[in-house]
Amino acid sequence: MLGQQIINGLMLGSVYALIGVGYTLVFGVLRMLNLAHAYLFMAAPFVAFLAIKNGIPSPVALIAGMSVSALLGVLLYHLAFRPIPRHHALGGFVSSLSFGVVLQVIVVNAFGSMKIPFGTGLSLPDLELGGLILSGVQALNLVMATALMIGLLVVINRTRLGRNLRALAQNESAASLLGVSVRKHVQLTFLVSSALAGLAGMMVAERFGAISAYMGDTYAIKALAVVVIGGLGDLRGAMVAGVLLGIFEVLFQAYAPPGWSEAFVWLLLIATFLFKPEGIFGMRTSRREV
Amino acid sequence: MNTRRQWIVAACASMLYLAGPPALAQQTLKIGVNLERTGSGASYGVHMLMAAQIALEEINSAQGVNGHKLELVIEDNRSSPEQAVIATRNLDNAGVFAMLGPIQSSQCRTAFPAANRAGLVAISTGSGAPGLTAQNRPWTFRNAAIDQFIIDELVANLRKRYPQAKNVVAVVDPKDAYNSFLVKTVAPPALEKNGFTLVNKDALIEIPNDVADFSVFVTRIKAMNPDIVLLGLLFEQGKGFLREANRQKLVVPMFAGLGYLTETVAEAAGGIDLWAGQPFDPNAADPKVRQFVQTFKARAEKEMPSQYSTPTYIDAGAYESMYIVADALRQAKATPQSAPKEIREKVRAHLAGLKSYAGLGNQLSINQDGDAVKPTLVYRASGGRWAKL
């Protein structure tokens, strides 16, 4: 049972990781939390659902879901971040949440508040290894989250684009004076981060065979914990913390008295603030790091 | 200045004229609906409302009641016990003659006392937790199912089908009043009486209703090696659990309480022998049932293509209750001008004295607790369809 539960946790953690990486990207550049992220996670599978319903082939529908999510991310930046003064303590936090809630209301009005069956017909078969069962979709999720994290780390550390982003994260004015186009780079960050949210949403929808306007709520709040525990603005941290949180949450659900697994996540968050406020890999928040 | 004021008065008068004479809006007899239109019970709510609307349209197209049309005043309780109280108060203030709902026991637990205080008839068509009407006499009623009867019958049949089975493992949504009652109060004596052992009676596996990933719970149950699993979950959660159980090859017989008799649950059950009960048979030969089911299915398939389309006992109860309330209003000679207090008392008395009412494939009576006594039907899911035992 322990082996299967660790696999269950690994699979759950891969979703947290993918969402957490998206949160981290935006935080790394703007030092503002994008609370609409979970709503983009929810919106993408609805786009794919609509496309599939209208006869569009599933792979195209999935790309459409990710693309709409990415474009919504750019819209989000222009509506909820760019006009908000950076010094406002709750500016981006509240405006992005508002954007997300509006998005959710639109989905509720268009599709209702009930769960809707979701299936692309592309389901990967589950993998069985010595009595242990791995969900094909979630295994892919884990592989993709890892590949994306490595890819993003390479881009950020080894490319001109990454250097510009790092410069932007450390000092926006200085970067701008050195010719870095702030708007273009921030837009790009939102585009990638939101596409990742959409991808995660569609993988969750495919794995559990259902979508709802509220499907992002639980993951969103856990992914926030992932970002803090992993280290604000650190991609490796988000990935590792996501996977660890998933495993520990599942182990608590399996072995601790009922109801304690939820407390565990938040106790871990408080412990992080108390004993390692910079998180697993994160820098002190006085520095800004992508 | 005077000219401007005259213009404003004229504009307001024109708007009032365009809005139509206010008397028209008062020409209907208002029935409140306090339902779970959003939140965890939304799936039940939208279907129940559809059933009530079908009855409303039929009644209105047949001359209405005492020459007046019926009108539904709808309040969404958001599947929240607190909001259910607010919805009850709003309907009371709106002057409705009776209230359908709430559907779920969690909401009935708070809305029933509020209805009782307000002197407003409340009829739940879904709640199955024991005692909720008995504790809130004389204004609350349920045209749903008496859970104990259903579970007793179901468990007795399970014993016949699985004579060697012994160990039962239960999962429960800890925040759902109905399922908590089912797993903690209703099922244990029935299981014990039939020689089963609820092995985790003191350590129930709790699955909150916001869970999407059931893998951890299914793995845990699989390790307990049960002969039978009791599902104390709302049907939407039940579907997720069943899919995961199939995936992890936990293919043992399972049973649930009320609210599971939908085609989507039968599909999710896959190879699992799933049992459930309800007091309504959508396949009954009764022409009234056939007509209702046909109309309901056609409308559900059109308006909610991804949801279940065969009516459940909740929907049948809502349809019946609309007709029962219409009869009560007829006998009370209710008009839109009638004092709500007077009519509500007559509706209450009508319901309290209801005997052998020709419902949808049943002859229902209301007992001294305010609960409808209806048939006990047990079903098994097989090959993606429910079949009556």
Distance CA A236, CA A246 (A): 16
CB–CB of B259/B105 below 8 Å? no
Give the pLDDT band (50/70/90) at residue A290. very low
Q: Do B219 and A8 touch (CB under 8 A)?
A: yes
Interface test with B, best of A8, A11, A46, A128 (most B CBs within 10 A): A8
Which ipTM did the prediction report?
0.82
* Strands B28-35 and A210-211, bridge-based pairing: unpaired
Distance CA B182, CA B167 (A): 17
CB proximity A19 to B under 8 Å: no
**pTM across the whole model:** 0.83
Phi, psi for B15 (deg, rounded to 5) = -65, -40
B24-145+285-375 has which CATH code? Answer: 3.40.50.2300
Is residue A117, in this structure, part of any structural domain at all? no
Q: Do B213 and A258 touch (CB under 8 A)?
A: no
Sign for the pseudo-dihedral over CA of B128, B130, B135, B139: positive
Within 8 A of B306 by CB-CB distance, chain A residues are 116-117
Within 8 A of A9 by CB-CB distance, chain B residues are 216
Q: Measured between CB atoms, which of A4, A114, A250 is closest to B42?
A: A114
CB proximity B248 to A under 8 Å: yes
- DSSP state letters, A160-222: HHHHHHHHHHH-HHHHHHTT--HHHHHHHHHHHHHHHHHHHHHHHHHHHTEE-TTTHHHHHHH
So what's the pLDDT on residue A115? 87
Distance CA A54, CA B38 (A): 26
Give the CATH number of the domain where residue A268 resides. Answer: 1.10.3470
Measured between CA atoms, how close is A218 to chain B, in angstroms? Answer: 7
CB–CB of A239/A150 below 8 Å? no
Q: Do B213 and A8 touch (CB under 8 A)?
A: yes
CA dihedral B328, B329, B332, B333 (to 10 degrees): -140
Which chain A residue's Cα is nearest to B39?
Answer: A113
So what's the pLDDT on residue B14? 53
pLDDT of A240-285, one tens digit each?
999 999 998 899 888 888 777 778 878 888 888 888 888 887 655 5
Give the pLDDT band (50/70/90) at residue A129. confident
Within 8 A of B307 by CB-CB distance, chain A residues are 114, 116
The boundaries of the domain holding residue A9 are 2-111+133-275
CA dihedral A103, A109, A112, A116 (to 10 degrees): -50
Q: How far is CA A75 from CA A68, A170, A226, in A?
A: 10, 24, 25
State the total domains in chain A: 1
Within 8 A of A135 by CB-CB distance, chain B residues are 215, 247
So what's the pLDDT on residue B21? 44
Q: Flag whether pLDDT at A123 surpasses 80.
A: no
Q: Do B240 and A253 touch (CB under 8 A)?
A: no
CB proximity B40 to A under 8 Å: no
Is residue A281, in this structure, part of any structural domain at all? no
CB proximity A258 to B under 8 Å: yes
Measured between CA atoms, how close is B240 to chain A, in angstroms? Answer: 7
Q: What class is the B147-278 domain?
A: alpha beta
pLDDT of A84-96, one tens digit each?
876 776 777 889 9
CATH 3.40.50.2300 in chain B is located at 24-145+285-375, 147-278
Measured between CA atoms, how close is B220 to chain A, in angstroms? Answer: 6
* Strands A132-134 and A127-129, bridge-based pairing: antiparallel
Give the pLDDT band (50/70/90) at residue A30. confident
Within 8 A of B37 by CB-CB distance, chain A residues are 113
First-to-last alpha carbon distance for chain B, in angstroms, is 80
So what's the pLDDT on residue B223? 93
Parts of chain B with a pLDDT under 50: 1, 16-25
Distance CA B174, CA B232 (A): 9
Stretch A197-203: mean pLDDT: 91
Which chain A residue's Cα is nearest to B45?
Answer: A114
Q: Do A8 and B206 touch (CB under 8 A)?
A: no
DSSP state of A116: E
Stretch A145-157: mean pLDDT: 85
Is residue A11, in this structure, part of any structural domain at all? yes
Measured between CA atoms, how close is B223 to chain A, in angstroms? Answer: 6
Interface test with A, best of B35, B222, B306, B307 (most A CBs within 10 A): B306
So what's the pLDDT on residue B5? 59
Interface test with A, best of B35, B37, B44, B219 (most A CBs within 10 A): B219
So what's the pLDDT on residue A282? 62
- DSSP-based helix, strand, coil % in chain B, nearest 5: 45, 20, 35
CB proximity B236 to A under 8 Å: yes
Between B8 and A123, residue with greater pLDDT: A123
The candidate with the shortest Cα–Cα distance to A151, out of A230, A229, A245, A235, is: A235
